[in-house]
Amino acid sequence: MKIFLLKVILSVMVIILTGCITKENRQIINTEKGFMLQKFEIKNKDLQDTINNLTYIVNNRTDKYKDYILTLELRQYKSNIEFWFDFINKENAAYKINTYNLRVVGYITDNSEDVILLSNINNRFDFEFIIYKFIQPTDRTKRFDFIYFDDTQYQVDKEGRGLPPLGIRDNYTIYIFQNNELIKKDDDFNWYLERLEN
């Protein structure tokens, strides 16, 4: 009987210790911000040339913009494929992803500069079918601490009522893929708003 009781006590202690260690590990994991993102490679020459030109400019930025990063939104609008480039402060990356409900795809590296890949195509199979002729995944990954989902992305006032989102307008450089070539789109605010609403 004493041996049985000793085994029960030891079993309970092991369960309690395991639960405490697991809880500690879970707390450590949850305090870390950031995601491991998968690296992609560019498969389309026109897109490669465009990214190469933009990352060359980014690579030569002043110290004032050292905390900025290039993002590329891979978008579809009425069966047209669009590439929206934006140069944003890393601190605003999570806000942008949450505000526009963008899918975090991964990243590419060009001219020693990382480019964060985002998309408005939320269905993975649709995304792969549409975009894989332009980029393809690799088996490499990298951690980006400034890419995360903010726990308090929905803001409230002092009484706890929800506040409307801040109006933001990114400074996109946009290319449309038509007739098997990338065509740069001139800045047109109505054109931009129409796409954000759909």
Reported as a single tens digit per residue, the pLDDT across 18-35 is: 555 544 444 444 456 788
Residue 90 has pLDDT above 70, yes or no: yes
pTM of this structure: 0.72
pLDDT for the residue numbered 23: 45
Which two tokens mark 152? 């308090």
DSSP code, position 33: -
Contact 145, 26 (CB under 8 A): no
Please provide residue 109's backbone torsions phi and psi, each rounded to the nearest 5 degrees: -125, 130
Where is pLDDT greater, at 64 or 54? 54
What's the rounded mean pLDDT across residues 112-133? Answer: 93
Q: What percent of the chain has pLDDT over 70?
A: 72
